[in-house]
Amino acid sequence: MPHEVRGVVARSKGAPVAVETIQVPDPGPGEVVVDVQACGVCHTDLHYREGAINDEFPFLLGHEAAGTVSQVGAGVSNVNEGDFVILNWRAVCGQCRSCLRGRPQYCFETHNAHQKMTLDGVELTAALGIGAFAEKTLVAAGQATKVDDSAEPEIAGLIGCGVMAGLGAAMNTGGVTRGDSVAVWGCGGVGDAAIEGSRIAGAHTIIAIDLDDRKLKWAKDFGATHVINSAGMSTDQVVEAVQALTGGNGVDIAIEAVGSPAAYEQAFYARDLAGTVVLVGVPNPEMRIDLPMIEVFGRGGSLKSSWYGDCLPTRDFPMLIDLHLQGRLQLDRFVSEKIGIEDVEAAFHKMEQGEVLRSVVMI
């Protein structure tokens, strides 16, 4: 029998979100219902509200979440009722060409629940197939990853998106290791997670680059050894500043966490020969970059995009929670404030103004 619960819905492009009564069906085969305990307010949810992802309104927002499995559908074996889980948007299929080649972290056919949650009989589009600004949500079983329930839900849920994207950009995609030098453009949640990941991996020089001194202070708290406020600086000036901090050479790994052509160009030129550029910031569809091919060839190295931190949730989520519980991963520093489900619209405004690193909805 469907559950009637509160959820945050975006009904139309650009309109303020509202808390509505939605219907969550009982789980079918391969599905689970999760009692959501906490969900971070991510820029991706704002993109959905603004119609920047697609126009499949109404949206049930929220995706960076943790909670407890309350119901399990037929055939589910990876989780049980009562398990504490982090939700993810990479439920690997195991059958696509990437999975069959032993690369499930790049799964091309990730799946969501087959059934839809509804609002007054109208099907809702769940953000990233999750829809976790709600008291309960329905997901594919593979979207629920069991972790140690000693972790607080407001901290654990952040691994489900922004923290994983940033940590993974450094540790998985960029391959940061002991003795490396790293620069990170953009010191919001994803960028700071990349800084934290670089610190954990043993980078000796971590340069944070942003336009906002407040964000640069946050970056230092996560392990940045140097900061550059690039406001008003040209690409050449930023590159020279990075080189001055790295013996004139540039960094081994340059991580662009903004999704900006200007920042990407700076990252491209600020890396050392044979260095790596990682794009984890999400650009809009109209953005373009123009780089001389001789520079792409002559500098060597690699230009990579990081998909969800190239993570495998079943491998990475429990490991990151363990690192946090050991005191090695500073997840608590990402939580700027804890808010109620009715405060999501206000949290969007704070996020746009750069006032918070992460607002977390407690449900």
Give me the residue label for tokens 């994983």. Answer: 164
- The whole-angstrom separation of Cα 14 and Cα 353 is 17
Domains and CATH numbers, the chain: 3-160+330-362 (3.90.180.10), 166-307 (3.40.50.720)
Q: How confident is the model at residue 75 (pLDDT cuts 50, 70, 90)?
A: very high
pLDDT at 323: 97
pLDDT at 285: 84
Sign of CA dihedral 267, 273, 278, 282: positive
Q: Are 275 and 254 in contact (CB under 8 A)?
A: yes
pLDDT at 122: 97
- Return the closest-CA partner of residue 241 out of 310, 342, 233, 331: 233
Cα–Cα–Cα angle for 34, 39, 40, nearest 5°? 155
pLDDT at 101 over 90: yes
Cα–Cα–Cα angle for 305, 316, 312, nearest 5°? 55
The pLDDT mean for the chain works out to 97
Q: What is the mean pLDDT of residues 19-33?
A: 98
The SS3 of residue 339 is strand
Digit-coded pLDDT (tens) for 224-240: 999 999 999 999 999 99
pLDDT at 284: 86
202 or 285: which carries more pLDDT confidence? 202
pLDDT at 17: 98
pTM of the prediction? 0.96
> What count of other Cβ atoms lies within 10 Å of the Cβ of residue 229?
15
Q: Are 195 and 206 in contact (CB under 8 A)?
A: yes
Digit-coded pLDDT (tens) for 246-290: 999 999 999 999 999 999 999 999 999 999 999 999 998 899 999
